[in-house]
Amino acid sequence: MTITDPTRTVDSPAGELDVEVDDAVGDEAAFRNLVARLSRQSVDKHYDAYADIPWDDPAYAIDPTDPRWELDDSDPLGATEWYRRQPQEVRAAIGLYRCASAMKIGLQFENILKRGLLEHAFHLEDGDPTFRYAYHEVIEEAHHGMMFQEFVNRTPFELPGLTWDMRLGAARVVGLGRRFPQLFFMFVLGGEDPIDHVQREELRNGTDLHPLLETIMRHHVTEEARHLSFARHYLKREVPKLDPVRRQVLAVATPLILGTMAQLMMQAPKDMIRRFEIPDEVVREAYRDDPAHREATVVSLRKVRRLARELGLINPVSRSLWQRFGIWSDDATTAPAVAPRPQAANA
């Protein structure tokens, strides 16, 4: 088994490097070795939501007017003239709300993920190495949920998180962990990959992040690297075993999941738009009509799209759905360039 590290890694708070395992699993023995390695990494390098974050350090306190919460030009809403015209404290509040809302949705998504993983593990046979790793991931996701909720609790906002229809569908997703685990782990990638991409880009850009936000993101991307690796390689191992009907269901469901989850993760939530009375034309400018935002969404799904292509899940029907959701790309060998965003005039 060959292990290849990514071309760019992110420093952890301890100064180490988080390694995203992205190796080729060619047989059962290689898959078992990979799972064993991921389990060892979960023992050797993990974070506690409270022991490893200095919540009560004054430098980590959340001030809603702190200019470090403001959205910059790389954010589609932050690049609009409307946003730039707002008073400084409003710009900061919008940025903090956006961040807290993402964490609220994240902790609810990870609640679904944990329940689905436990449902999956409940039916594994004795000696299956994925049982241990599934429990490692549940523990890590529990710490993620605690640190996300603690962050939300320290803001002045009441946040709804997932919409009612997504809450209603949560139980069905949990059941997929037992009934259709291949579809469940595609759901995992749809929820985790876009936000992982965004967080890594923010950490690499060297912007002046609030120390609490930066610490949470570094902890998150370090452990998510293992979770994403397991999901990808589980799919590489199990999808080829599917019968033609289930393979077609997975092929069609994949762009539906990814299109919905990417929109949820990459766009401002409706409750934020209502709370800050963001005009409809500004929302259209920031998201639907912004080529840079559309391209960023496509790029955030590049790994999952390439995996779907590798697994033979791209066919004329599914490809039309990828295109309809605006998340399709031919994925050339070089990373696609993000279209430059026109600079809004300063207010």
Mean pLDDT over 153-167 rounds to 91
Average pLDDT over residues 10-30: 50
**What SS3 class is residue 72?**
coil
Q: What is the pLDDT of residues 272-326, one digit of tens each?
A: 999 999 999 999 999 989 999 999 999 999 999 999 999 999 999 999 999 999 9
Question: What does the pLDDT read at residue 149?
Answer: 98
Compute CA distances 212 → 57, 68, 94, 196, 346, whole Å: 10, 11, 17, 17, 29
Average pLDDT score over the chain: 88
Let me know if domain 32-324 sits in CATH 1.10.620.20: yes
pLDDT in the model for residue 334: 41
Q: If pLDDT is split at 50, 70 and 90, which confidence band does 251 have?
A: very high
Q: Is the pLDDT of residue 23 over 80?
A: no
Task: Give the model's pLDDT for residue 342.
Answer: 42
How much is the pLDDT for 164?
Answer: 84
Please check the confidence at residue 206 and state whether its pLDDT lies above 80: no
- For 83-98, the pLDDT digits (tens) are 999 999 999 999 999 9
Ranking 10-14, 76-80, 142-146, 318-322 by mean pLDDT, the lowest is 10-14
pLDDT of 27 reads 78
Q: Which residue in 113, 103, 246, 279 sits closest to 180, CA to CA?
A: 246
pLDDT digits (tens, 9 = 90+) for 25-73: 557 889 999 999 999 999 999 999 999 999 999 999 999 999 999 999 8
Q: Are 13 and 218 in contact (CB under 8 A)?
A: yes
Q: How far is CA 2 from the centre of its chain?
A: 26
Q: What is the spatial distance between Cα 98 and Cα 104, in angstroms, rounded to a whole number?
A: 10
Tell me the pLDDT tens digit for each residue of 174-184: 999 999 999 99
pLDDT band for position 261 (cuts 50, 70, 90): confident
Residue 16 pLDDT > 70:
no
Confidence band for 14, pLDDT divided at 50, 70 and 90: very low
DSSP for 242-275 reads S-HHHHHHHHHHHHHHHHHHHHHHHS--HHHHHH
Confidence of residue 327 (pLDDT cuts 50, 70, 90): very high
